[in-house]
């Protein structure tokens, strides 16, 4: 019985699921767009992008050999990731560059999984990442936000039927792809008005002597290229 249960769980998580109807893929994309474009909705939905942004900083910091001290998420959708290590060098550059690129690259990876029909694996993988991130959260609002997000993924992946799982997974991936584009334009606007002097782009400029405008261009290229490539995968073009 134990072996059978383990095998069943393994097959459920890592097996493939049927393709959803094309109308559902398009409908979830429209819903994701409506979560990104209206300013009032974006003020709330941007919290999810902040989770991905700060999670990107944290993951790359650990992968590059830095010590991750903690992550904070705030109700104004800002965030802060603190790591220790050499203040210059490739590890610090990669860590600083990971924030604005993380939502789009996570969306691109999610689109690849969905194109391969691994819907449940995507949901469980996202849950695992959120649980790992929860350990490093250092404020109450951040704990609440990540806990709710992780709980939603877990409940959908375990308790709902394939159609609901597909709708949720496609909606999340569309949101990451679309939501990864807007923050870069917002940052560009803030810098044009003389704000955000310590933004990721400005930190990267100080670390590399490359103008911040070129780092912004890189962020734009990553987000837009991920949206185009991920959108093609999702729409099976």
pLDDT at 204: 97
What's the pLDDT score for residue 197?
A: 85
The pLDDT value recorded for residue 6 is 65
Which residues in the chain show pLDDT less than 70?
1-15
Work out whether the CA dihedral 204, 142, 48, 15 comes out positive or negative.
Answer: positive
pLDDT of residue 196: 82
For 166-181, how does the pLDDT look when each residue is reduced to its tens digit (9 = 90+)?
Answer: 999 999 999 999 999 9
pLDDT in tens, 108-132: 999 999 999 999 999 999 999 999 9
Token output for 227: 């949206």
pLDDT score at 1 = 44
């Amino acid at each position: 019985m134990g072996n059978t249960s383990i095998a069943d769980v393994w097959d459920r998580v890592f097996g493939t699921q049927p393709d959803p109807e094309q109308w559902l893929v398009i409908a979830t994309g429209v819903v994701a767009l409506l979560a990104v474009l209206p300013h009032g909705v974006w003020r709330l939905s941007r919290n999810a992008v902040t989770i991905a942004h700060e999670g990107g900083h944290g993951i790359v910091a650990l992968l590059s050999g830095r010590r991750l001290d903690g992550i904070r998420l705030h109700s104004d959708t800002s965030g802060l990731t603190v790591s220790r290590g050499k203040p210059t060098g490739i590890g610090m550059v990669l860590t600083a560059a990971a924030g604005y690129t993380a939502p789009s690259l996570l969306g691109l990876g999610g689109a690849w999984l969905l194109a391969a029909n691994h819907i449940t694996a995507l949901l469980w993988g996202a849950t695992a990442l959120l649980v790992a991130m929860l350990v490093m959260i250092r404020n109450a609002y951040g704990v609440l936000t990540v806990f709710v997000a992780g709980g939603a993924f877990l409940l959908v992946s375990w308790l709902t039927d394939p159609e609901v799982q597909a709708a949720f997974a496609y909606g999340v991936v569309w949101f990451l792809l679309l939501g990864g584009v807007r923050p870069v334009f917002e940052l560009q606007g803030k810098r044009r008005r003389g704000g955000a002097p310590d933004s990721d782009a400005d930190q990267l400029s100080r670390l590399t002597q490359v103008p911040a405008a070129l780092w912004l261009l890189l962020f734009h290229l990553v987000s837009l290229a991920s949206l185009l490539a991920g959108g093609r995968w999702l729409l099976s073009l």
